Amino acid sequence: MNPAARRARAIRSLLTGLAVAGAVAAAGLTIYLIVAGTNLRVWIVLWIVSVALLFGQVVRQKRDVGLILLAASWVATSSWQLVSEVAHDHHWAANQVSVIGSVGSWVRWAMLACIAVGIAIDIKSGSLTWPPWRPSSSD
């Protein structure tokens, strides 16, 4: 076996090991959040996952604009929920919590607009079919 093939195999096995360790850690974290987690911890994890999904879609060579918009809406929603949970956990003043609630309604409408535009773009590009039982162009 030549050195390049050995190096590629070593890198592949390292990445596989890291993926398995990450899956085990994610499963453990999920069980922990279900059993003992608070809303704040859940929103922290969801924010990290949504940012990772958005980052992963933005840096890909073949970008899916619909999925980018969906991930952006998840980032906005989880960010808003995270700030809201911090406000409630730390007992912020009522006027500050009221502002967070007002901003939250705008975030919700922006999220729904991003989802609608993302779905429309995916249907138009053929990667999402409507009605769902109709075969897509890639099938």
Helix axes of 39-59 and 65-89: crossing angle, nearest 10 degrees: 160
**Model confidence pLDDT, tens digit, residues 50-71:** 888 888 778 777 777 888 888 8
The pLDDT value recorded for residue 49 is 81
Whether 75 contacts 47, CB under 8 Å: yes
Q: Residue 131 — pLDDT band, cuts 50, 70, 90?
A: low
Q: Is the confidence at residue 133, as pLDDT, over 80? A: no
The whole-angstrom separation of Cα 105 and Cα 56 is 28
Q: Which residue has better confidence, 34 or 74?
A: 74
DSSP per-residue string spanning 41-62:
HHHHHHHHHHHHHHHHHHHSSS
Q: Residue 135 — pLDDT band, cuts 50, 70, 90?
A: low
Q: Which sequence spans correspond to the domains of the chain?
A: 1-37, 39-139
The pLDDT value recorded for residue 29 is 74
CA distances from 66 to 15, 79, 138 (A): 28, 20, 16
The whole-angstrom separation of Cα 49 and Cα 71 is 9
Place of tokens 């809201």: 84
What lies within 8 Å, CB to CB, of 115 at 6+ separation is 69, 70, 73
Mean pLDDT throughout 16-32? 76
Model confidence pTM above 0.85: no
The whole-angstrom separation of Cα 76 and Cα 88 is 18
Q: Is the confidence at residue 125, as pLDDT, over 70? A: yes
